[in-house]
Amino acid sequence: MNAGWNRLARVRVPATSANLGPGFDSLGLALTLYDDVTVEVTKGGLSIEVDGEGAEVAGRGERHLIVKVLRRTFELLDELAGSGLGRPPGLRLHCVNRIPHSRGLGSSSAAIIAGITAARALHPHGGLLDDAAALALATEIEGHPDNVAPCLYGGLTIAWSGPDGPRTVRLDLARRVTVFVPDRTLATERARGLLPQTVPHEDAAANAGRAALLIAALTGGLDEGVLLAATEDRLHQGYRAPAMPESAALVDRLRAAGVPAVISGAGPTVLAFTTASRVDSIGLEVGTGWHKHSLNVDPHGACVQPPGP
């Protein structure tokens, strides 16, 4: 085994929900639903084992997303350190995945952040890649920062990109949410393909006001009526509705019952800012065919776990 490598990294990464209604491509929330990823440096070869979600991609080898991110992060750390350490002799990857794939809960962002976090823990110069640089790398790989930011930092994040790259502001938030996950999937690329190139000025102005109100409602403890108004969206959910009619209909039913509900990310999962008991009281509005999860906001983001036995 090459000298210098740390032998083992165990990482836990949270699911995320982006957009949150009017905060298109800017707001994100970390949730208490997790993937656990273990990466071990071995004497040679590449071994991948996946339990749970995404088990069918275990055979992708070097094309597995976490493996690609590990390689890219190792290369970047070598560049930063000028070490020429190169690749570890071998890797063993074991994933226990609970975040649904292609459902709007940030599974690809979780994989990216898991790979970066594990690489920082394994590489002898991992400390050279701080969180701001990790966010920049994750955004480069994912294409936008709204899911990778809460996955990395936890809590509620406001992310944007400027001349110096992606930035984020993290806010503490203690709140229960309920997510409704359908069996069907929806590729993010398809959902984005339904968005128009331009939108009416009135809709853009309305979303700007609602996004500001949403931050105030979530962090200021405002009542559910204000939160219902704050989660109104005119930029993306309506345009994407034809690709997920059941999800769009559930959002409408919940909102008609006074529950602040939105499409999670690109969908088709629905997120409601409410408790499980409140949802149970309006069971007829929810209907059947949904996997319901009552979750908290995760306050920590990606964490390196103790090695264990």
100 in a known ligand binding site: yes
**Known binder of ligand: residue 26?**
no
193 is in an annotated binding site: no
**8-state DSSP, 298:** P
109 assigned ligand-binding residue: yes
Q: Going by C-beta distance under 8 Å and a sequence separation of 6 or more, which residues neighbour residue 58?
A: 48, 49, 50, 64
Is 272 flagged in the annotation as binding? no
Residue 22 sits at φ, ψ, to 5 deg, of -80, -10
Sheet holding 176-181, edge to edge: 261-263, 270-272, 176-181, 291-296
Identify the DSSP state of 100. Answer: P
CA distances for 184 relative to 67, 178, 268, angstroms: 27, 18, 8
Q: Does 108 belong to an annotated binding site?
A: yes
Q: Is 30 annotated as a binding residue?
A: no
225 assigned binding-site residue: no
Q: Among all chains, which residue has been given the structure tokens 């009135």?
A: 202
Tell me whether residue 4 is annotated as binding. Answer: no
CA dihedral sign of residues 202, 204, 208, 213 = positive
102 marked as part of a ligand binding site:
yes
DSSP, collapsed to helix, strand or coil, labels residue 269 as: coil
Residues 6+ apart with CB under 8 A from 157: 27, 28, 29, 30, 146, 149, 150, 168, 169, 170, 171
The residue written with tokens 């750390």 in the block is 77
Quote the DSSP letter at residue 98: -
64 has binding-site annotation? no
CA 110 to CA 301: how far, in whole Å?
A: 10
Place of tokens 């930092």: 153
Mark out the alpha helices in the chain (DSSP H runs).
65-81, 107-122, 131-142, 148-153, 188-193, 201-220, 224-230, 237-240, 245-256, 276-281, 283-286
Annotated binding site for ATP: 100-110
Annotated binding site: 100-110
